[in-house]
């Protein structure tokens, strides 16, 4: 039987980094792993990162797994036919929830003869959790984004608190204790996808029997409103040196720093902003996962380059036209900073439509 592992979590939680680390660890244990990414648009930075580490990687674009369920199954089928695979890890869009009803249960009901389905894991960024908690402590009304974030955690069989190395041990202990108190049926684990600390506990949690009994209440109007707060942009740029060779890392850092600072200045929430720069020497991948925060480097090949290709993925709570302008301004700033010239491919930001899942099953339906 094939093993199917579904992973959810808010934008910027570190799902892709988790998938890279988990896939490597599972392969070291003898599993043969394929990964499926998911997005509202196409040409994902995360897919490029995964393909730099894994052989079997595919993408479902144009909507969430729940709304593209048959596409998900077709992609999985192609992966299984193309190689010797016994484990599929599927990473849902960061703005998606209700996966138990729309993905996990349909998998069990309609494809249970082929797959054993692991407990659903929701990856959580403790810094994002802290930000939403502090807003609640200040008495601010619950935003639609906060509602979506909370529903993702509420439906999890496994609450996987990533980035444990970015908070103090005392704060991490407090986060884990609160999550266990509020969600007693879930397995709560803390780990770092970057360092590997705690990762074995996540792998062990996937081997446990999940609890399928509880139905999650979802206000689809609020869910749709949360997704519609974010403008989404995936855009390509052709780069060439303006004079001497340019630094891919310097260029990428300048793009993301300018974009994060603009969002901070305008009071706009960043879901995430990610980019890759591919040159003859290899690929650089960087990201920023919060307003006004510093970029992180996931992969760096910083040999001076005469030319290259960049892809920028941005999810920001602004109007689409504002995101288009902000990304172009950030790229122009990076060109001037790094000594490059860029030509942008035609692209425009958009907001996701109302989520309309193919299947939505209650626990009693399976």
Residues 140-196: pLDDT tens digits?
A: 889 999 999 999 999 999 999 999 999 999 999 999 999 999 999 999 999 999 999
Confidence of residue 43 (pLDDT cuts 50, 70, 90): low
End-to-end CA distance of the chain: 19
Unique residue bearing structure tokens 């060779």: 245
pTM score, two decimals? 0.93
Give me the pLDDT at residue 89, please: 97
Per-residue pLDDT for 83 more than 90? no
Strand spans (E) along 10-153:
33-39, 57-61, 87-91, 115-117, 121-124
| DSSP one-letter code for 165 | G
More confident residue, 291 or 286: 286
Nearest Cα neighbor of 253 from 223, 207, 297, 290 is 297
Nearest Cα neighbor of 7 from 87, 127, 109 is 87
Highest mean pLDDT range out of 30-39, 44-53, 335-344? 335-344
Q: Is 245 helix (H, G, I), strand (E, B) or coil?
A: coil
Confidence of residue 42 (pLDDT cuts 50, 70, 90): low
Give me the pLDDT at residue 62, please: 87
Give me the pLDDT at residue 261, please: 93
Give me the pLDDT at residue 327, please: 97
- Cα–Cα distances (Å) from 338 to 246, 249, 329, in that order, read 6, 9, 14
Confidence of residue 137 (pLDDT cuts 50, 70, 90): confident
38-52, 77-91, 219-233: segment of lowest average pLDDT: 38-52
Whether residue 286 contacts residue 297, with contact meaning beta carbons closer than 8 Å, is answered with: yes
Give me the pLDDT at residue 221, please: 97
Unique residue bearing structure tokens 């950030």: 330
Give me the pLDDT at residue 299, please: 87
Provide the angle, in degrees to the nearest 10, between the axes of the packed helices 144-154 and 220-229.
120
Largest CA distance in the chain: 66
Confidence of residue 81 (pLDDT cuts 50, 70, 90): confident
User: Between the CA atoms of 57, 301, 127 and 170, what dihedral angle is there, to the nearest 10 degrees?
Assistant: 110
Mean pLDDT value across residues 71-88: 91
Mean pLDDT value across residues 97-105: 96
Confidence of residue 52 (pLDDT cuts 50, 70, 90): confident
Label the pairing between strands 2-9 and 121-124: parallel
- Residue 200 tokens read as 């074995």
Per-residue pLDDT for 92 more than 70? yes
Mean pLDDT value across residues 332-342: 97
Confidence of residue 24 (pLDDT cuts 50, 70, 90): very high
Confidence of residue 129 (pLDDT cuts 50, 70, 90): very high
Whether residue 237 contacts residue 279, with contact meaning beta carbons closer than 8 Å, is answered with: no
Confidence of residue 47 (pLDDT cuts 50, 70, 90): confident
- Rounded distance between C-alpha atoms, residue 114 and residue 24, angstroms: 23
Chain length of the chain: 366
Distance of CA 123 to the CA centre of its chain: 9
The alpha carbon dihedral of 125, 37, 157, 83 has a sign of negative
φ, ψ of residue 114 to 5 degrees: the values are -115, -30
- Rounded distance between C-alpha atoms, residue 334 and residue 357, angstroms: 40
DSSP string, 129-141: HHHHHHHHHTTPP
Q: Where do the domains of the chain lie, and which CATH numbers do they carry?
A: 2-224+355-365 (3.40.50.300), 232-344 (3.30.70)
Per-residue pLDDT for 138 more than 90? no
Mean pLDDT value across residues 90-95: 94
Secondary structure in 3-state letters for 288-315:
ECCCCCCCEEEECCCCCECEEEEEEEEE
Residues 239-265: pLDDT tens digits?
A: 999 989 999 999 999 999 999 999 999
Give me the pLDDT at residue 347, please: 81
Distance of CA 55 to the CA centre of its chain: 20
Per-residue pLDDT for 213 more than 70? no
More confident residue, 51 or 364: 364
- Rounded distance between C-alpha atoms, residue 324 and residue 317, angstroms: 12
- Cα–Cα distances (Å) from 316 to 11, 31, 60, 290, 349, in that order, read 10, 37, 21, 10, 10
Helix (H) or strand (E) holding 158: strand 158-161
- Residue 305 tokens read as 């380059």
Whether residue 31 contacts residue 86, with contact meaning beta carbons closer than 8 Å, is answered with: yes
Whether residue 198 contacts residue 192, with contact meaning beta carbons closer than 8 Å, is answered with: yes
């Amino acid at each position: 039987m094939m093993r199917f592992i579904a992973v959810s979590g808010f934008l910027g939680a570190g799902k892709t980094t988790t998938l890279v680390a988990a896939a490597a660890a599972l392969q070291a244990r003898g599993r043969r792993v394929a990964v499926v990414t998911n997005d509202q648009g196409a040409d994902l930075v995360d897919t490029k990162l995964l393909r730099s580490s894994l052989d079997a990687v595919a993408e479902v674009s144009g909507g969430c797994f729940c709304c593209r369920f048959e596409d998900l199954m077709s992609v999985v089928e192609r992966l299984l036919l193309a190689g010797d695979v016994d484990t599929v890890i599927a990473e849902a869009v960061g703005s998606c929830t209700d996966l138990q009803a729309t993905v996990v249960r349909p998998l069990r009901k309609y494809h249970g003869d082929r797959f054993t389905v692991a407990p659903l894991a929701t990856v959580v960024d403790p810094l994002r959790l802290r930000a939403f908690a502090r807003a609640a402590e200040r008495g601010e009304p619950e935003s639609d984004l906060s509602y979506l974030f909370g529903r993702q955690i509420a439906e999890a069989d496994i609450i996987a608190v990533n980035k444990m190395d970015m908070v103090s041990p005392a704060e991490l202990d407090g986060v884990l204790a609160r999550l266990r108190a509020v969600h007693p049926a879930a397995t709560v684990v803390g780990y770092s996808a970057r360092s590997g600390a705690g990762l074995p506990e996540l792998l062990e949690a996937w081997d446990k029997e999940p609890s399928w009994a509880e139905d999650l209440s979802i206000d689809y109007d609020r869910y749709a409103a949360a997704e519609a707060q974010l403008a989404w942009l995936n855009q390509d740029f052709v780069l060439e040196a303006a004079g001497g060779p340019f630094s891919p890392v310097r260029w990428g850092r300048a793009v993301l720093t300018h974009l994060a600072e603009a969002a901070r200045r305008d009071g706009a929430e960043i879901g995430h902003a990610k980019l890759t720069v591919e040159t003859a020497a290899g690929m650089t991948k960087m990201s920023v996962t919060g307003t006004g925060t510093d970029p992180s480097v996931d992969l760096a090949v910083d040999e001076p380059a005469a030319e290259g290709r960049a892809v920028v993925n941005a999810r920001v709570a602004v109007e689409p036209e504002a995101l288009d302008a902000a990304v172009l301004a950030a790229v122009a700033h990076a060109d001037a900073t790094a000594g490059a010239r860029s030509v942008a491919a035609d692209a425009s930001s958009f907001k996701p439509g109302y989520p309309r899942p193919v299947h939505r099953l209650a626990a009693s339906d399976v």
